[in-house]
């Protein structure tokens, strides 16, 4: 059964079980089925590099602080903390559970670097940034976790723009300049447990920097710095460039966003085959279209759900 068919079937089961599905053309998410894969003896850990230690003292009181305009963010359709019971918040409550459990070592088996969560997709425009931001905000609402949202889509960054923030130094500056450390560019926000690492100053060799040894050492240090911190990476699509694949081999968990309407199954399969070594791959079905009879006619919902990767 294809991913989309599984999703449709699961949604039908939810409907029959009395779960309310959305009747407005707005975001809605339902859990389709967690697909947590934990075999991964092949996962390669990168030895920590003591030299990068100084780059990771994060966040520190000296880190710049930005104010997120939560009203504007909410108006743009993104999740905001403490939103009155919204569909989107409910959806991400379900979506984040298995990720947090794996990150905190409460999954079926321990996952190396489980707190490094990469959000990617086969192709551009499938909702990676939208999902990564929502996921980060949702996890920041947890009592026990802090979150760093990293814009690792260095060729086409969009996190700051989507959050209404001006361009700012970030990851690329840390990677290309030894004198810049993360604490100097990491943005603390008015969402207490959320900090943002922007992609930084544009660089002609941005994609090479992203797949560089310095980046890999940085990742490993990030993973081990704070036990309660989950790091969410917005990243480039898997099928257009190779740096996402390199990045994925150092992540504990990879979330593959699939646009249920537009992505063909072969592209999804091909994308998954590029990141075989990653211990945990979760598929996030975005913009699922569900027909619903509500007595007044049909409505359509768009939503998220986890699906099996086959
Ligand atoms: N579930 C959703 N509900 C509403 N809008 C969505 C949803 N998913 C994505 N979008 C919107 O679709 C557009 C593309 O999404 P987004 O920028 O997150 O995709 P992307 O995969 O990060 O794209 P790129 O590959 O260009 O970085 C954005 O305007 C985003 O706000
Ligand atoms: Mg994006």
Of residues 13 and 77, more confidently modeled: 77
Residue 107 has pLDDT above 80, yes or no: no
Q: Which residues pair with 284 in a beta bridge?
A: 257, 306
Question: What are the respective helix, strand and coil percentages of the chain, to the nearest 5?
Answer: 35, 15, 50
C-alpha of residue 74 to centroid of ligand 1, in Å: 15
Percent of the residues in the chain that have a pLDDT greater than 90, as a whole number: 56
For residue 310, being part of any structural domain is answered with no
CATH number, domain with residue 191: 3.40.50.300
154-188 per-position pLDDT tens digit: 999 999 999 999 999 999 999 999 999 999 999 99
The predicted pLDDT at position 80 comes to 94
141 to each of 56, 126, 251, 308, how far by Cα in Å? Answer: 23, 25, 23, 27
Q: Which domain holds residue 172?
A: 37-256
d(CA 202, CA 62) in angstroms, rounded, equals 24
> Which residues have C-beta within 8 Å of that of residue 196, sequence separation ≥ 6?
66, 148, 149, 150, 151, 159, 160, 163, 165, 186, 187, 189
- Does ligand 1 come within 6 angstroms of the Cβ of 87? no
Q: Specify if 152 maps to a domain.
A: yes
Classify residue 200: in a domain, yes or no.
yes
Return the ligand number nearest the Cα of 240.
Answer: 1
More confident residue, 162 or 291: 162
Backbone angles phi, psi at 36, to 5 degrees: -90, 120
Mean pLDDT across 208-215: 93
User: Considering the entire predicted model, what is its pTM?
Assistant: 0.81
Decide which of 3 and 82 is more confident. 82
Q: 96: part of which helix (H) or strand (E)?
A: helix 87-103
Domain count of the fold of the chain: 1
How far is the centre of ligand 1, averaged over its atoms, from the C-alpha of 157 (Å)? 13
Strand partners, 116: 231
Task: Evaluate: CB of 77 within 6 angstroms of ligand 1.
Answer: yes
Instruction: Between 15 and 256, name the one with better pLDDT.
Output: 256
Distance from C-alpha of 103 to C-alpha of 95, rounded to nearest angstrom? 13
Separation of CA 162 and ligand 1 centre (Å): 10
Q: How far apart are CA 265 and CA 251, in angstroms?
A: 24
Residue 19 within a domain: no
160 phi/psi in degrees, rounded to 5: -60, -45
Mean pLDDT across 8-17: 48
Residue 223 lies in a domain: yes
Task: Name the band, by pLDDT with cuts 50, 70 and 90, for residue 55.
Answer: low
């Amino acid at each position: 059964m294809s991913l989309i068919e599984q999703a449709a079937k699961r949604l039908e089961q939810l409907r029959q079980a009395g779960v309310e599905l959305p009747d407005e053309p707005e975001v809605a998410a339902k859990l389709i089925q967690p697909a947590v894969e934990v075999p991964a003896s092949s996962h390669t850990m990168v030895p920590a590099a003591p030299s990068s230690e100084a780059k990771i003292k994060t966040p520190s009181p000296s880190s710049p602080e930005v104010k997120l305009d939560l009203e504007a963010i909410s108006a743009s359709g993104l999740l905001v903390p403490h939103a009155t019971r919204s569909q989107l918040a409910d959806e991400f409550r379900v979506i984040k559970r298995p990720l947090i459990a794996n990150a905190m070592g409460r999954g079926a088996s321990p996952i190396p670097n489980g707190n490094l969560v990469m959000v990617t997709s086969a192709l551009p425009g499938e909702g990676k940034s939208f999902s990564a931001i929502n996921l980060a905000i949702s996890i920041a609402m947890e009592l026990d976790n802090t979150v760093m949202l990293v814009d690792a889509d260095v060729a086409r960054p969009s996190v700051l723009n989507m959050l209404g923030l001006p361009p700012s130094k970030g990851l690329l500056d840390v990677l290309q300049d030894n004198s810049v450390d993360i604490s100097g560019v990491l943005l603390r926000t008015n969402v207490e447990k959320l900090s943002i690492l922007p992609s930084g100053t544009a660089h002609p060799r941005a994609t090479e920097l992203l797949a560089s040894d310095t980046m890999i050492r940085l990742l490993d240090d990030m993973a081990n710095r704070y036990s309660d911190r989950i790091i969410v990476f917005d990243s480039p699509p898997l099928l257009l460039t190779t740096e996402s694949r390199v990045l994925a081999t150092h992540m504990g968990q990879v979330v593959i966003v699939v646009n249920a309407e537009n992505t063909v199954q072969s592209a999804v399969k091909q994308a998954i085959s590029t990141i075989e070594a990653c211990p945990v791959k979760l598929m996030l079905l975005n913009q699922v279209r569900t027909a619903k009879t509500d007595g007044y006619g049909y409505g359509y919902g768009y939503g998220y759900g986890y699906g099996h990767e086959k």
